[in-house]
Amino acid sequence: MTSAYMIEPPKTANQKMTRLALLAVVAGLLLTLHFYSPLRNGLWARTFFDALHVPVFGLIALSLYAITPDHHRRTYRIALALAVTCVLSVLSEAAQIPVSRDASLHDLIADWLGAAGFLTAALAVSPGFSTSLLKRIATGLAAVVLLGWPLYPLANVTAAYLERNAQFPILVQFDSRFGAVLVRKQNVTLNISDQPGSGHKVAHVTVGAGPWPGLAFHDVWPDWRGYSTLIIDLEIGEDNPLEFNVRVHDQAHKSHDNAYTDRYSKTFVLEPGRHTLQIPLEDIRTAPRDREMDLSRIEEIIVFSRESNAGRTINLYEIRLQ
């Protein structure tokens, strides 16, 4: 009767030591997540670190399940492990607030789903769970769903990086369905359409009324060594000239009082029509006032206009190295 209701922990003379070791694992995982500060340059690194909440709290939940006295029914032990893990995740997020860490509801939900997903997956493969293959498959699929939601952002960002890498030396192209992951809009409307006769897409960027309307392309391919020119292919509509600003910075760039002098910034006054801007990389390398920009660690390209051009449209075709 016992095996029909519970997943049995190891029955050994050292069972007490095993449970103490599992408690130490729980404490170690919580402390590591709280105090470890990884290098967070780049969207992928930040997303990966956030995704670690899923396996960390999944392992915590499994450890708490294993140390629950085995005379209890399996459903009670699972519910207790899940409840304690959820409380620990709340305390973990709350403990980040005084030390200026990134406590968030998203992380909290990822913690809970990670715990529920790991417990559900363990239940699906437990020898004492069920003799029905269909029930095991359904339980396994439930675990996949529970784990899939918090891990989806990492899969999505990884796909975006793979497409970014494959199109190099093109830095920005709008054909990618994942490309929007690496683009931030500020006070603009962005519409993508087919580019006639080319088989590629064009971005129609309509300038908005807010300050510094434009697009930021972050986490571009970082190593620009071996190339000489940054090419921006665009088109200005309507009848009047338009100010088009280009900004480039590397990973060493910091937001501080002299941030403007620590990056490449240039304003182009463009007449209506198609333009191919050619910016020498030597100009970008020597742009910072107090140092040289690291062309092996470029982080972001920003293109923007001014609020006075609100309502006008810029057609952006491609940004590439040559």
**Domain locations in the chain as residue ranges:** 2-164, 171-321
3-state secondary structure labels for all residues of the chain: CHHHHCCCCCCCCCHHHHHHHHHHHHHHHHHHHHHCCCCCCCHHHHHHHHHCHHHHHHHHHHHHHHHCCCCCCHHHHHHHHHHHHHHHHHHHHHHHCCCCCCCCHHHHHHHHHHHHHHHHHHHHHCCCCCCCHHHHHHHHHHHHHHHHHHHHHHHHHHHHHHHHHHHCCEEECCCCCCHHHHEEEECEEEEEEECCCCCCEEEEEEECCCCCCEEEEECCCCCCCCCCEEEEEEEECCCCCEEEEEEEEECCCCCCCCHHHHCEEEEEEECCEEEEEEEEHHHHHCCCCCCCCCCCCEEEEEEECCHHHCCCEEEEEEEEEC
CATH topology of domain 171-321: Jelly Rolls (2.60.120)
pLDDT of residue 2: 45
pLDDT of residue 244: 92
Instruction: Tell me the whole-structure pTM to 2 decimals.
Output: 0.74
pLDDT of residue 264: 93
pLDDT of residue 124: 86
pLDDT of residue 163: 87
- Mean pLDDT by groups of 10 residues along the chain of 322 residues: 47 62 71 62 80 86 82 83 86 68 75 89 80 85 91 90 90 78 87 79 87 90 94 89 92 70 90 94 91 91 90 91 94
